[in-house]
Amino acid sequence: MMRLNARTLDGLPAAIARPEYDRDKVRVGIVHLGVGGFHRAHQAMYLDRLMNDGQAMDWGICGVGLLPGDRRMRQVMHDQDGLYTLVVRHPDGTLSARVIGSIVKYLYAPDDPVAVIETLAERRTRIVSLTVTEGGYNLSPATGRFDATNLEVLKDLSDGVTPTTMFGYLTEGLRLRRARGLGGLTVVSCDNIEGNGDTARESLSAFAALKDPELGEWIRTTVRFPNSMVDRITPATTDADRQDFLSRYGVADDWPVHCEPFSQWMLEDDFLDSAGGRPPLENAGVTLVPAVRPYELMKLRLLNAGHQVLAYLGYLAGHRLVHEACQDPAFAGFLRGYLAEAVPTLDPVPGIDLGEYQQNLIVRFCNANVSDTLARLATDGSDRIPKFLLPVITENLAAGRDVRRSAAVLAGWARYCEGVDEKGRPIEVRDHLADRLQANARRQDADPLAFLADRQLFGDLVDSEAFRTAYLQALGMLRSSGARAVAEHLARTSAAPPFGAGSPEPGTRPRPRPAGPRS
């Protein structure tokens, strides 16, 4: 058995491609916060591609972990000299493997916070990129603005404390750059948020202004925050994936990354020239555009919301893998119906055929070789649903359009949060608001609107008679007939009659709700 690291790189099997550049000559130009599977399958891959072509050798990545859960990544990055294998899983069952070498440094912030701050403040650091999840920007669900009451934020605002949040680290690094006359840099968000660059600007400058109003204004006006849209389905790596990689290639990689073949990065070309601009990303397949918004809305409201469409109803019905749900005619039809419901809320997308895009989504979701899980898609619904699905609902309600499929997704989430599927098996609700969500969901027997009435999550949606009716009908049918019946009903044409007062679909036998404790 061979263990992956810099010393064994040249001896890897021929089936694994490897960096064709001298990593000792790569210099850090990018600091990335939140090194997980997606970053390593996406941004780091694009930089590695450039380096293999003899470009961007001064744009190496320094990864930074901020959270306790990043401790393991620190160990793997240390043991493997920043190397890992990207395994692309094709629909026909074939694999292609490549070692990625663009991450040349890794810092775990709790171990050495000064090193992180100094790296951010170095002259050669010109870009800071982020994959900190949808919830990492500390936005209030009620207002959509920076939440200055967050306890971790309040702690970082205290004088003389060691930062713990990304806001604390970035603010301190930028404060030092300003004090040293180095100027700003460019912050590139790669998270699934509408206007992710704008959101990063507002959140970071709001935090900085609470510490130093002049610094907050300097960040707002000096630092660049291009918006971007990123896309590549990247399931979490499992122990089975590690063992399969070892068995297949005879190489021990403690954290390989598995992904689909498709990859897309639409990026606004708005980088700070005085900070050295950017690497030639267009040479690696990145599409540079004047405005990302049309592409961003397409991806958030079709792909990301489409994942939510499958996640809750599919899981309730007994599916556990994404491709299983999408290959099920009932759920595939339900998904197609949702996509048709969402498309009218989109702006025109230059160069994109939306019909072809929707069909490609179905093909991507059906890729059995990826083995993505519905549980992963259902995680952190309180961060995802408001950003992916609620804008579709709001715009369709305002225009008087159909919202039945969107309402069924929300009802499915409410039913999922009760903590038990249709066969009585427990569901682990993984969400930072899990206690609140489950408490609301468990009140639905007495008050069917208990989940929807959470105004911090859903605003005034409960006040809409049209939506309330569609939601209650879907929830009633989920209880009486189950998720498959809901999916089958809504897979029909838009001319299909609405639900009948929550009664079972004609011709189906009602399925009783499972007895026993709810967890």
pLDDT tens digits for range 157-174: 998 899 999 999 999 999
Sign of CA dihedral 305, 310, 313, 316: negative
- State the average pLDDT over residues 75-89: 98
pLDDT of residue 516: 31
How buried is residue 171: exposed, middle or buried, by Cβ count under 10 Å (0-12/13-18/19+)?
Answer: buried
Spatial distance between the Cα atoms of 415 and 316, rounded to a whole number of angstroms:
8
Query: What average pLDDT score do residues 199-215 get?
Result: 97
**Mean pLDDT within 481-499:** 76
- What is the predicted pLDDT for the residue at 517? 29
Q: What is the pLDDT of residue 155?
A: 95
Please give the angle made by the CA atoms of 23, 25 and 29, to the nearest 5 degrees: 90
Residue burial 346-370, b: 16+ Cβ < 10 Å; e: rest: beebeeeeeeebbeebeebbbbebb
pLDDT value of residue 304: 97
Mean pLDDT of 175-196: 96
Confidence grade of residue 319 (pLDDT, cut at 50, 70, 90): very high
Give the per-residue pLDDT at 48.
Answer: 98
% the chain with pLDDT above 90: 91
pLDDT of 276 reads: 82
pLDDT digits (tens, 9 = 90+) for 264-283: 999 999 999 977 899 999 99
Cα 245 off chain centre by: 25
Segment 409-415 mean pLDDT: 98
The pLDDT value given to residue 26: 98
Instruction: Please answer whether residues 84 and 78 qualify as being in contact, where contact means their C-beta atoms are separated by less than 8 angstroms.
Output: no
- Does the 2-280 domain belong in CATH 3.40.50.720? yes
The CATH code of the domain at 293-490 is 1.10.1040.10
pLDDT at 511 over 90: no
* CA separation for the pair 408, 309 (Å, rounded): 9
- Residues 90-149: pLDDT tens digits? 999 999 999 999 999 999 999 999 999 999 999 999 999 999 998 899 998 778 899 999
- The pLDDT score that the predictor gives to residue 492 is 81
Note the pLDDT tens digit of each residue in 492-508. 855 333 433 333 332 22
Residues in the chain: 519
| 429 pLDDT above the threshold of 90 | yes
- The residues pairing with 289 across neighbouring beta strands, listed in sequence order, are 268
Q: Hey, what's the torsion of the CAs at 500, 505, 509, 513, to 10 degrees?
A: -60
Tell me what percent of the chain is helix, strand and coil, each rounded to the nearest 5.
Answer: 50, 15, 40
Instruction: Report how far residue 290's alpha carbon sits from residue 266's, in angstroms, rounded to the nearest whole number.
Output: 10
Q: According to the model, what pLDDT value does residue 494 have?
A: 52
pLDDT of residue 182: 94
Does residue 151 have a pLDDT over 60? yes
What gap in Å lies between CA 491 and CA 291, rounded to an integer?
Answer: 34
Q: Mean pLDDT, to the nearest integer, of 12-18?
A: 97
- Look at residue 241 and tell me whether its pLDDT is greater than 70: yes
> Position of tokens 């998720």?
483
Task: Write down the pLDDT at residue 493.
Answer: 54
Residues of the chain with CATH 1.10.1040.10: 293-490
pLDDT of 141: 73
Q: In whole angstroms, give the CA distance from residue 360 to residue 364.
A: 6
CATH 3.40.50.720 in the chain, residues?
2-280
pLDDT attached to residue 274: 75
Q: Can you give the pLDDT at residue 507? A: 28
As a whole number of angstroms, the distance between CA 160 and CA 278 comes to 34
